[in-house]
């Protein structure tokens, strides 16, 4: 089962969309950082619109799921496939998470409106991967972006 989840995350991620050691001062700047990465490679989506999509979803309820993890997400027809971006913020950021703890790992997900089932499956898969204490600890200790990317793909 772990292998299948890792493959799914691999399908959504691109090494360009993984960043570690990021300092973020607010929830808004966290969403802007995630939106920017979701638009990589350069010019593949409209960053401002992706930010608005993430912000709109965040206004419904915080996507801070606890244990220092948030999964900001939304659906946007400016992309033709589901994609993810990962930001590791060791100092943490107040994200109004369900458990009140600062968020240190953000996984942004965006995909077209035509894929609601895939979108939900991606959310569930990412949530499952990040419920693993060892996986979160390894991400927080990642030496660089490439190391974090490899950590995410390991079963």
Look up the CATH number of the domain holding residue 87: 3.40.930.10
pLDDT band at 78 (very low <50, low <70, confident <90, very high): confident
Please give the residue range of the domain that contains residue 57.
2-153
| Structural contact between residues 149 and 27, judged by C-beta atoms closer than 8 angstroms | no
Cα 82 versus chain centre, distance: 12
Q: Is 119 a catalytic residue?
A: no
pTM (global) more than 0.85? yes
- Out of 17, 73, 135, 136, the active site residue is 73
Average pLDDT, the chain: 91
pLDDT band at 55 (very low <50, low <70, confident <90, very high): very high
If one counts the domains in the chain, the total is 1
> What average pLDDT does this structure show over 141-150?
96
Q: How far apart are CA 100 and CA 106, in angstroms?
A: 15
């Amino acid at each position: 089962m772990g292998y299948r989840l890792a493959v799914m995350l691999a399908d959504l991620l691109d090494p360009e969309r993984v960043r570690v050691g990021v300092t973020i001062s607010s929830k808004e700047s966290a969403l802007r950082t995630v939106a920017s990465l979701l638009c990589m490679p350069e010019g593949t989506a409209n960053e401002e619109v992706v930010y608005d999509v993430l912000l709109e979803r965040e206004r419904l309820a915080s996507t801070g799921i606890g244990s220092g993890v948030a999964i900001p997400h939304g659906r946007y027809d400016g992309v033709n496939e589901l994609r993810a971006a990962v930001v590791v913020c060791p100092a943490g950021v107040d994200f109004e998470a369900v458990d009140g703890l600062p968020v240190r790992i953000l996984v942004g997900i965006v995909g077209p409106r035509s894929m609601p089932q895939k979108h939900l499956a991606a959310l569930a898969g990412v949530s499952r991967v990040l419920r693993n204490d060892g996986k979160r600890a390894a991400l927080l200790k990642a030496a660089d972006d490439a190391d974090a990317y490899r950590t995410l793909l390991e079963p």
